[in-house]
Amino acid sequence: MQTVLQGNIRSVTKYSMDSNSGISIFLEQQNEGLNENIIGNEILTIGGPYEMAITFEAYANEGLLPGEFELRVVIGRGAGGKAKLTCLAVKDPRLTAKLNSQNKEQPGQNKPA
Structural domain spans, the chain = 2-104
What is the pLDDT, as a whole number, of residue 13?
98
What is the pLDDT, as a whole number, of residue 105?
66
Q: What is the pLDDT along the chain (113 residues), one digit of tens a residue?
A: 999 999 999 999 999 998 899 999 999 999 988 889 999 999 999 999 999 999 999 999 999 999 999 999 999 998 999 999 999 999 988 886 666 667 676 666 555 55
Total number of residues shown for the chain = 113
Name the architecture of domain 2-104. Answer: Beta Barrel (2.40)
| CB-based burial label for 98 (10 Å; 0-12, 13-18, 19+) | exposed
Q: What is the pTM of this model?
A: 0.80
Cα separation, 3 vs 71, whole angstroms: 8
Angle CA 2–64–103, to nearest 5 = 75
